[in-house]
C-alpha cells in the first residue's frame, strides 16, 4: 500500500462501514417508530413466528451494552411488545445472578403515582443523545408473559421509567418528543463529570 497511514485506513474503514452497514436498531425517522403498534394476537402466542421476534429482540438488546429494554418497533415489528433486560432486575452488585430477560406482551397501564420526577433517559433509536423526561415515579401495568399468562407488575424508579418509555414506543412516541432537556452524549458526559467534581 503506502498510500495511507494506518490511522487513515481505520478512519476510511469506519466511513465505509457506516455507509454500508445498516444500524440493527430502527433509527428516528423510520416510519415504523411512529406507528401505533398492533396488539399481539392470542393465536400467535407460543407460535414459532412470535418466538422468532422475541429472539431477535433479545439478541438486539444483548448487543447494546447500555440498553436496558427494547420495543418491537425498534427492530421493525409493529407489535405491542417489549423486552426488559434481566440486568435491570439483578440484585445490585451481583453480576452472577442475572435473571432472564422479561417479555411483556400487550402491556397496559393500570395505575400511576401522582408524583412525577425528571429522569435521565436515552434511546437505542436516537443514537448519541441523552435527555431528561418527566416520568411518573411509579407505574403499574398488566401484560401477558411469553406463555400468554396475564400478570400485573408494579414498577418504581427505573422499572417505572422503562414501562413508560417502552409503552410510548408502542404508541409511536419517542422520548425526544417530550424531553425537558436534550443534548449530545459528549456534552452529557462532560456535564456529568463536572457534576461529579462539584
Ligand atoms: Zn427507546
- Quick one: average pLDDT of 160-180? 97
CA of 10 to the centre of ligand 1 (A): 30
Grid-cell match 408494579, residue found: 154
DSSP letter string over the chain? --SS-HHHHHHHHHHHHHHHSPPSS--TT-GGGGS-PBPPPGGGTT-HHHHHHHHHHHHHHHT-TT--EEEGGGGT--BSEEEE-GGGTSPTT-GGGPPPPEEEEEEEEEEE-S-EEEEEEEETTEEEEEEEEEEESEEEEEEE-TTS-EEEEEEETHHHHHHHHHHHHHTT--GGGT-SEEEEHHHHHHHHHHHHH-
Tell me the longest C-alpha to C-alpha distance in the chain. 66
Q: Which one of the listed residues 64, 108, 166, 193 is annotated catalytic?
A: 166
Q: Which residues pair with 156 in a beta bridge?
A: 138
Q: In what order do the strands lie in the sheet with 116-123?
A: 116-123, 126-136, 181-184
Using a pLDDT cut of 70, give the percent of the chain over it.
91
CA of 4 to the centre of ligand 1 (A): 39
pLDDT over 80 (residue 19): no
- What's this model's pTM, rounded to 2 decimal places? 0.85
Is 166 a residue of the active site? yes
CA of 73 to the centre of ligand 1 (A): 10
pLDDT band at 98 (very low <50, low <70, confident <90, very high): confident
pLDDT tens for each residue of 51-78: 999 999 999 999 998 899 999 999 999 9
CA of 108 to the centre of ligand 1 (A): 17
At the fourth CATH level, which superfamily is domain 24-89+98-197? Peptide deformylase (3.90.45.10)
pLDDT band at 4 (very low <50, low <70, confident <90, very high): low
Amino acid at each position: 500500500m503506502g498510500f495511507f497511514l494506518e490511522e487513515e485506513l481505520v478512519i476510511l474503514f469506519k466511513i465505509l462501514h457506516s455507509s454500508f452497514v445498516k444500524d440493527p436498531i430502527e433509527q428516528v425517522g423510520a416510519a415504523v417508530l411512529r406507528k401505533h403498534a398492533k396488539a399481539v394476537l392470542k393465536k400467535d402466542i407460543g407460535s414459532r413466528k412470535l418466538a422468532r421476534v422475541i429472539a431477535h429482540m433479545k439478541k438486539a438488546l444483548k448487543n447494546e451494552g447500555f440498553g436496558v429494554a427494547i420495543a418491537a418497533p425498534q427492530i421493525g415489528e409493529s407489535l405491542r411488545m417489549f423486552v426488559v433486560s434481566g440486568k435491570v432486575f439483578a440484585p445490585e452488585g451481583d453480576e452472577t445472578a442475572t435473571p432472564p430477560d422479561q417479555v411483556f406482551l400487550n402491556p397496559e397501564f393500570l395505575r400511576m403515582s401522582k408524583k412525577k420526577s425528571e429522569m435521565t433517559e436515552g434511546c437505542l433509536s436516537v443514537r448519541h443523545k441523552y435527555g431528561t423526561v418527566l416520568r411518573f415515579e411509579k407505574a403499574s401495568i398488566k401484560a401477558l408473559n411469553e406463555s400468554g399468562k396475564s400478570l400485573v407488575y408494579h414498577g418504581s424508579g427505573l422499572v417505572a421509567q422503562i414501562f413508560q418509555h417502552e409503552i410510548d414506543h408502542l404508541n409511536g412516541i419517542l422520548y425526544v418528543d417530550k424531553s425537558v432537556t436534550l443534548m449530545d452524549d459528549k456534552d452529557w458526559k462532560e456535564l456529568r463529570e463536572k457534576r461529579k467534581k462539584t
